[in-house]
Amino acid sequence: MKKLLLLAFAFSVIFTSCDSRNNPMSGYEKTSSGLYYKFYEENQGDNPEIMDLLDVVLSCKINDTVDIIPNNRMILQMVEPMFSGDFFEGIKMMHRGDSASFIVRTDSTFYTLFGTSIPSEFTVNDIMKFNVRLNDFYPESEFASKQIEYMKNTFVEETAKAENELNNYLKENKINATPTSTGLYYVKSKDGNGVKPQVGQEVEVHYTGKLLDGTVFDSSVDRAQPFKFDLGIGQVIPGWDEGVQLMSKGEKGTFYIPYYLAYGNMGAGPIPPFATLIFEVELIDF
């Protein structure tokens, strides 16, 4: 009898464990409106009020696999919940510094928050989960000053990150180069004839542009069509105007261009903000 009881207990533990793994709501609590929530970090203090601005890091996934909102820092405005079990009901429960997950109705969320019906690849039974960290919140009247502060901090952080990434890239790839006074790195791979172009002259070049991760975003070589521009008068990014002046006719080399000599903190097309660029360049003629 004792063995039977132990065996029954063992099966009970196994089935409970399996149910926990298979149930996406396991470990979550549920509000009376139907919102499932789980806190990972919970602090004390005030909760956001309606119309407050929320500084959050937020992501949204369906079935823990499909990204609806990639993990990103953003500013949201606190509003009244628009349906029972709304995402904003969960935000209202949070304090500064809290992090939590909220499971919401997929159909209602698509309709009210995203303004569309559920895409055909999903159903009402799919699990939509918001992961949120509430960094801060403040009244709408403080938005301008907070945005300026946020932009300054972001600029400093991203600048330091970009500089570290470039330095690490040069070190890891054993690239021995000295930057110019502006921060441009140039490594020659083939000598030219020694004659360098002057400001205002039209130059003809071949190039391939890449990000630090090796992604090619543009190439005149692939198009089999050299690129022409007037040197030193701002028709191209500053790193190019400076770099091509270092070259002589027939010379080949590589520019390592920090973001502030390229497309800055805004980026352009496939080039993200604060991106260091690598250009393999040949000065064909001028």
Average pLDDT over residues 124-128: 82
> Can 255 be counted among the known catalytic residues?
no
In the 8-state DSSP scheme, what is residue 117?
P
Which tokens hold the place of 100?
């939590």
Q: Which residue has the tokens 């559920």?
A: 118
Residue 13 domain flag? no
Distance CA 33, CA 134 (A): 22
- Both tokens assigned to 97: 């510094």
pLDDT at residue 18 greater than cutoff 50: no
Q: Which of 88, 255, 256, 263 is catalytic?
A: 263
In this structure, of 73-82, 110-119, 239-248, 261-270, the range with the lowest mean pLDDT score is 110-119
Let me know if 218 is a catalytic residue.
yes
Last-in-domain residue among 145, 168, 183: 145
> Ranked by mean pLDDT, which of 46-50, 85-89, 189-193, 207-211 comes out on top?
207-211
Here the tokens at position 17 are 């464990």
Is the same domain home to 135 and 241?
A: no
Of 268, 269, 283, the C-alpha closest to 207 is: 283
- 207 part of the active site: yes
Give the structural domain span for 136. Answer: 25-145
Average pLDDT value for residue range 255-274: 89
- Among all chains, which residue has been given the structure tokens 């029972």? 84
Residue 22 has pLDDT above 70, yes or no: no
- Residue 98 has a CB neighbour count (10 Å cut-off) of 20
pLDDT in the model for residue 255: 96
- The structure's pTM equals 0.53
40 catalytic? Reply is no
Q: Which of 89, 112, 145 is the last residue of a domain?
A: 145
Domain boundary among 103, 123, 145: 145
| Alpha-carbon span 3 to 247, nearest angstrom | 86
Give 243's pLDDT tier (boundaries 50, 70, 90). Answer: very high
What CATH number is given to the structural domain containing 93? 3.10.50.40
